[in-house]
Amino acid sequence: MAASALTSEDDYRSVLTREFDSMTPENAMKWSVLEPNRGQYNWSGADAIVDYAQQNGKTVRGHTLVWHKQHPDWLNNLSATELRSVLKKHITTVVSRYQGKIRAWDVVNEVFTEDGTRRNSIFQQKLGDGWIADAFRWAHQADPSAKLYINDYNTEWRNAKSNALYNLVKSLRQQGVPIEGVGFRTHLSIQYEFPGCFHQNLQRFADLDVDVAITEIDARMATPPTEAKLETQARYFRQAWDACHAVSRCVEFTTWGFTDRHSWVPDTFPGEGAACLYDDSLNPKPAYYWLNSTV
């Protein structure tokens, strides 16, 4: 969800408050927003979301501590030793600030490429394979009560990427690293098939004794939307919902934004949009009505 809309749009805030029980900051907790210049913090958006959640009985999914995107430029020129120490400081500072107020953290985001190799981020380049385990340990020290997740996309079905993710989670669990959840972003497009065997894939991760969660679902389409496309979209949301409900360790079903007014889709996928449960004017779509009928 968008921190700016929370503070400036009454209709947005009222739908959020009425319909949802958890909030995920879309950008407000990303490193480039929190610490654009080294040592200079900007907590306004993140604090606004956490405060609102506390006052209104919502939980918060913290997103995201480490990502190869939206981190500040000043990280780029650090030595390995300095990068390690600022990474530890970043994780410790952010997680402790909201200690006890964040239900789950996306500790690391998108660490694999499509072929299942580790993404060549500055963290991977400079710190080597062990940085992910360290990130989880530091986060756990700062808030032992938060559920710590690894989060990624295109991992909904069995493929090279989800196999690599599976092997990493298995190995981290075997080493006693405090990883407790795997987030499946689930950015769907109705122009592609719904991910095959999603439920079985969720189950194999759950069998590693971790929670699994749908963390960012939306279902985009070529614009403009038509009645038929919106029906297909509703079916995709429903199939994802059913996949999650078929797995007892699937603990969360979170959408990436709820209104097309603020969706990331048109900027990222030109010509596509209408991916959320509500349209620009906050009218609910068929997908909303279907999900609402199940709860």
Which active-site residues does the annotation give? 110, 216
- Ranked by CB distance to ligand XIL, the top (closest) residue is 264
Q: Which residues bind ligand XIL (CB under 6 A)?
A: 26-27, 109, 185, 216, 264
Closest distance to ligand XIL from the beta carbon of 80 (Å): 26
The CA-atom distances, in angstroms, between 94 and each of 22, 38, 70, 241, 250 are: 19, 14, 16, 31, 26
Closest distance to ligand XIL from the beta carbon of 248 (Å): 25
Residue from 219, 174, 182, 217 nearest 203 by CA: 182
Rank residues 241 and 264 by Cβ distance to ligand XIL and give the closer one. 264
Residue from 146, 157, 145, 239 nearest 190 by CA: 239
Rank residues 63 and 137 by Cβ distance to ligand XIL and give the closer one. 63
Half-sphere exposure of 131 (CA within 13 A, CB side): 29
Closest distance to ligand XIL from the beta carbon of 185 (Å): 6
Q: Which two tokens stand for residue 38?
A: 């080294």
Rank residues 198 and 286 by Cβ distance to ligand XIL and give the closer one. 198
**Under 8 Å between Cβ of 239 and 194:** yes
Give alpha helix (H) positions in 190-249.
198-206, 227-245
Rank residues 4 and 59 by Cβ distance to ligand XIL and give the closer one. 4
Whole-angstrom Cα distance, residue 64 to residue 216?
12
Closest distance to ligand XIL from the beta carbon of 261 (Å): 13
| Relative orientation angle of helices 131-142 and 160-174, to the nearest 10 degrees | 60
